[in-house]
């Protein structure tokens, strides 16, 4: 199967997501599609699998040209996509999900036997009667892949498949993909923003930048060339430079945060029995797969999820079971992962955000906006713009500028998710500044590389429990990955303990 | 089309569509469409008496409309306005029947106390729904609806039980209050101007609160994103209770004005569907404070004018209710189904 994307143009209002992109995907190969967040990779793949209609250009599949595809037509041609976030039905069972979607719905018996067949062929282990809600991200990926393989997909598109899975699970996935293309008739298109993954897996890569094709390379490719195509020469130089080492704690005096046998009850999960001390100047990273308990810890430390047992003291105040306002008064600030959904007021102006965040100084809101938002955080919007008009990077800049200066404990859930390289660098610079000034920063990132590069200490979570507390010296991606997926325990590996 | 003209064009299109559907419904009901509309307009505004009746209906509608703007500002669907009116009427009646017009306090003070009691009654009833929402996780639609029935039951029990007329209980209500305890009337008609003045003041006050104060901004924040409001320490639960309380007090005041200014006694179903009609009026004004008085006036004319339908055209007066509902639904649909509307890309 050969697929050619020819002069594809796709617009969203003013934004040109794909600007005259042409790409050839050959059978028997794994093609990488690289680029920064927002470069247009996912859009292009959605055009290819029929979820979006392009404004111009055509899709040529085995010589037959199509002006656009529908999801049905794409499936009939053998094009299938594994989306970034699983598009399944969590309350339904594994075999029910397998039976649904793409072609005729299978009967219970058909679905079970075909699921078993495809699982044994690919080496997956999926129990048919388990609700999908109970599966890990990796298992949900396997289910989706099993469904696509069963429907005889020939072009498999994967959108950031390694976010939320461990290094070991990643190796398994890559082996499956290599086996998939080995017969020379099928092919894979892999969307990623991680160069290392592309180097490891892909036979050829195409790079998108600001919606345009910025270059294509065949393996083995030169890292510097690819980076330059992705970011432009200037940023590429800094991107390859190692980040500055994480700051040392300012001293082991009074901890900012002290938790003993703390139990946190979040909406969905209960985090058991956490004991922990964090000192001023520390940057602590939380590692764990989605739902492992690290999000619950952040929300519990912010006072949004309730502490139902144990002790919790922040800045010397006892806060277990207290309302969120007491946490704010103690100098805690929480940056949510879903910036718009949990952090901002979509229909209110930026100025109103400043008024709400600094109610005592609301008469000086304009001055604060000019000084903090524009001056310090380089927000490029006008004060009367509505929050829902902000780009992802500017949303985070606004949220950063609303953090009070006297914050002692800054909690951040995936602070850089979906942002471009410049914004990410700005966020880490700011966090390091805060830490140097005596605040403690606790953050969770799904990107293990980022986590290990930025954190001075890593707490690993597995199955709603704190599995390990690793000092910077004993950080190793393999170990952290095994701990966060429960493949090993801290004791078995002689992992570090609290300093 | 310029940016400024766009909302006007949209409103005109929506009104035209609603008018067309209304005419269609009238035709289908076998009524002469234009004559029917003329009869209703005439019945609502045709004479001084009609205008006063319309004003009497406009007063509780505007009060409840202003009240609902406060709860809508915090994204609350306060369906319980009917019950809050009823409770206000009960508290006012209870306070006024205990007053002694001959001696004790001056009548003006008695009346002021009666109206204050009505506001308190509505406030209590609304806070009940509010606390069920913030502490019991019961949505205010269900608690409001339930409490409407409870309030109606309480008023019936009082009318037929403890507060019944001497001799025998009557569905026509309790004994009429002493004339000294009526709100001062206008030109000998059974209509007081105190009510409309209070209603306009309440409306202006609510508009000021929502548009000009920090409290109004925090309500908007709670509506936009309760989670983010929690994160900033704005205590959404407390704001919700405050909004419910203000709304209940204004609705209760409407009930008090109905007792002291119009009926001069407690009657069954004293809320007269004003609570529900006010929801329609706020929806018709679609969140615009400026358009709210016009929407309330429009519904007051429809309500009062429809009384003429059986007399002049042998039509059932419930047709007015049908028209109100159809109008609001069509306006909402027309806003979405506008021709040449640009759909947003996913």
- Among B221, B225, B231, select the one facing A334 at the smallest CB separation: B231
Q: Which domain holds residue B24?
A: 1-31+315-346
Contact A324 B225 (CB under 8 A): no
pLDDT at residue A123, rounded to an integer: 80
Same domain, B111 and B193: yes
Tell me if B38 is assigned to some domain: no
Q: Is B217 on the interface with A (CB under 8 A)?
A: yes
Same domain, B257 and B121: yes
Residues of A in contact with B233 (CB under 8 A): 324-325, 328-329
Q: A409-413 and A257-265: which strand pairing? A: unpaired
Same domain, B115 and B136: yes
pLDDT at residue A87, rounded to an integer: 78
Tens of each residue's pLDDT in chain A, 499 residues: 889 999 999 988 777 889 999 999 999 999 999 887 778 888 999 999 999 999 999 999 999 999 999 988 998 899 999 887 777 888 899 999 888 866 677 888 989 999 999 888 878 888 899 898 888 777 888 898 888 888 889 999 998 888 767 777 888 889 989 999 998 899 999 998 778 888 889 999 999 988 899 888 887 888 888 888 887 776 666 655 556 666 666 666 788 999 999 999 887 678 888 999 999 999 999 998 777 888 899 999 999 888 889 999 998 889 988 888 999 999 999 999 888 888 999 999 999 999 999 999 989 999 999 999 988 888 888 899 899 888 778 889 999 999 999 999 999 999 988 777 778 888 999 999 999 999 999 999 988 888 888 998 999 998 888 888 888 777 788 888 888 877 777 654 444 443 3
Contact B233 A324 (CB under 8 A): yes
Same domain, B96 and B61: yes
Tell me if B12 is assigned to some domain: yes
pLDDT tens, B17-76? 878 888 888 888 888 888 888 888 888 888 888 898 999 999 999 999 999 999 999 999
Alpha carbon distance A46, A35 (integer Å): 16
- Among B217, B227, B345, select the one facing A356 at the smallest CB separation: B217
pLDDT at residue B309, rounded to an integer: 81
Same domain, B195 and B242: yes
Please give the ipTM for the structure prediction: 0.84
Domain A3-240: CATH superfamily, name plus number: P-loop containing nucleotide triphosphate hydrolases (3.40.50.300)
Contact A267, A305 (CB under 8 A): yes
Residues of chain B predicted below pLDDT 70 = 1-8, 11, 103, 186-190, 335-346
Same domain, B247 and B340: no
Q: Is B137 on the interface with A (CB under 8 A)?
A: no
Total tally of structural domains belonging to chain B? 2
Q: Where are the domains of chain A?
A: 3-240, 257-344+390-484
Contact A176, A123 (CB under 8 A): yes
Question: From the CA of B5, how many Å to the nearest CA of chain A?
Answer: 21
CATH classification for the domain delimited by A257-344+390-484, as one of 3.40.50.620, 3.40.640.10, 3.40.50.2020, 3.40.50.300? 3.40.50.300
Q: Where on the phi/psi map is residue B236: left (φ > 0), alpha (ψ -120 to 50), or beta?
A: alpha
Tell me if B309 is assigned to some domain: no
Identical topology for domains A3-240 and A257-344+390-484 = yes
Same domain, B197 and B232: yes
Contact B218 A345 (CB under 8 A): no
Same domain, B97 and B180: yes
Contact A299, B231 (CB under 8 A): no
- What is the residue whose two structure tokens read 């805690």? A332
- Among B233, B235, B345, select the one facing A12 at the smallest CB separation: B345
Which has the closest alpha carbon to B29: B301, B317, B298, B311? B317
């Amino acid at each position: 199967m050969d697929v050619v994307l020819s002069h594809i143009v796709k617009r969203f209002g003013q934004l040109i997501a794909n600007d005259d992109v042409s790409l050839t995907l050959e059978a028997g190969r794994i093609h990488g599609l690289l680029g920064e967040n927002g470069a247009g990779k996912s859009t292009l793949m959605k055009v290819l699998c029929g979820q979006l209609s392009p404004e111009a250009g055509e899709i040529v599949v085995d010589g037959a040209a199509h002006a656009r595809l529908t999801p049905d037509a794409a499936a009939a041609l053998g094009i299938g996509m594994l989306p970034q976030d699983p598009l399944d039905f969590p309350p339904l069972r594994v075999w029910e999900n397998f039976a649904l979607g793409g072609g005729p719905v299978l009967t219970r018996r058909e679905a079970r036997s075909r699921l078993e067949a495809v699982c044994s062929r690919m080496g997956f282990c999926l129990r048919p009667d388990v609700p999908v809600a109970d599966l890990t991200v990796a298992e949900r990926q396997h289910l989706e892949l099993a469904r696509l393989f069963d429907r005889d997909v020939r072009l498999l598109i994967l959108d950031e498949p390694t976010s939320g899975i461990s290094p070991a699970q990643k190796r398994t996935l890559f082996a499956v993909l290599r086996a998939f293309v080995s017969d020379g008739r099928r092919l894979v298109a892999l969307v990623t923003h991680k160069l290392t993954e592309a180097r490891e897996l892909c036979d050829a890569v195409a790079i998108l930048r600001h919606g345009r094709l910025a270059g294509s390379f065949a393996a083995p490719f030169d890292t510097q060339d690819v980076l330059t195509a992705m970011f432009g020469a200037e940023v590429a130089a800094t991107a390859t430079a190692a980040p500055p080492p994480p700051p040392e704690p300012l001293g082991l005096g009074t901890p900012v945060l002290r938790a003993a046998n703390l139990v946190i009850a979040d909406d969905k999960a209960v985090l058991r029995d956490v004991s922990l001390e964090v000192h001023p100047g520390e940057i602590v990273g939380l590692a764990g797969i989605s739902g492992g308990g690290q999000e619950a810890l952040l929300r519990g430390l912010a006072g949004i999820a309730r502490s139902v047992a144990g002790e919790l003291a922040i800045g010397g105040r006892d806060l277990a079971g207290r309302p969120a306002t007491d946490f704010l008064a103690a100098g805690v600030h929480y940056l949510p992962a879903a910036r718009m959904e949990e952090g901002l007021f979509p229909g209110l102006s930026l100025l109103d955000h400043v008024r709400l965040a600094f109610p005592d100084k609301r008469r000086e809101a304009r001055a604060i906006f000019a000084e903090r938002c524009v001056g310090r955080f380089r927000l490029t919007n006008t004060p009367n713009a509505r929050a829902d008009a902000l780009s992802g990077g500017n949303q985070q800049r606004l949220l950063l500028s609303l953090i009070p200066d006297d914050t002692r404990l800054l909690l951040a859930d995936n602070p850089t998710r979906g942002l471009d390289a410049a914004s990410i660098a700005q966020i880490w610079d700011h966090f390091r500044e805060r830490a140097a000034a005596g605040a403690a920063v606790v953050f969770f990132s799904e990107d293990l590389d980022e986590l290990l590069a930025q954190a001075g200490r890593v707490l690993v979570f597995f199955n709603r429990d704190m599995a390990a507390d690793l000092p910077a010296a004993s950080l190793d991606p393999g170990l952290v990955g095994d701990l966060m997926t429960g493949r090993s325990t801290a004791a078995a590996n002689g992992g570090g303990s609290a300093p | 089309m310029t940016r400024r003209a766009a909302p006007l064009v949209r409103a005109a299109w929506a009104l035209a569509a609603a008018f067309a559907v209304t005419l269609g419904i009238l035709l289908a009901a076998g009524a002469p469409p234009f004559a029917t509309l003329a009869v209703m307009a005439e019945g609502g505004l045709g004479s001084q008496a009609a205008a006063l009746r319309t004003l009497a209906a406009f007063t509780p509608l505007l009060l409840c409309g202003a009240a609902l703007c406060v709860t809508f500002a915090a994204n609350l669907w306060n369906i319980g306005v009917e019950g809050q009116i009823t409770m206000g009427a009960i508290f006012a009646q209870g306070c006024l029947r205990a007053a002694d017009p001959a001696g004790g306090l001056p009548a003006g003070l008695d009346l002021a106390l009666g109206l204050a009691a009505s506001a308190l009654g509505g406030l209590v009833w609304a806070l009940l729904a509010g606390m069920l929402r913030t502490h019991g996780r019961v949505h205010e639609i269900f608690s409001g609806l339930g409490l409407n029935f409870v309030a109606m039951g309480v008023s019936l029990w009082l009318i037929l039980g403890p507060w019944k007329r001497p001799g025998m209980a009557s569905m026509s209500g309790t004994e009429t209050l002493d004339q000294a305890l009526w709100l001062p009337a206008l030109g000998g008609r059974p209509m007081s101007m105190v009510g409309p003045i209070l209603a306009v003041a309440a409306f202006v006050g609510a508009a000021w609160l929502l548009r000009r104060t920090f409290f109004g901004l925090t309500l908007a924040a709670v509506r936009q994103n309760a989670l983010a409001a929690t994160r900033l320490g704005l205590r959404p639960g407390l704001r919700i209770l405050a909004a419910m309380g203000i709304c209940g007090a204004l609705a209760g005041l409407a009930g008090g004005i109905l007792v002291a200014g119009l009926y001069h006694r407690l009657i069954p179903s004293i809320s007269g569907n004003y609570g529900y009609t006010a929801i329609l009026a706020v929806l018709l004004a679609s969140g615009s404070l400026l358009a709210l008085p016009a929407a309330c006036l429009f519904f007051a004319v429809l309500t009062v004018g429809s009384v003429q339908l059986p007399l002049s055209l042998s039509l059932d007066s419930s047709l007015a209710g049908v028209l109100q509902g159809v109008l609001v639904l069509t306006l909402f649909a027309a806003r979405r189904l506008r021709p040449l509307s640009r759909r947003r890309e996913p």
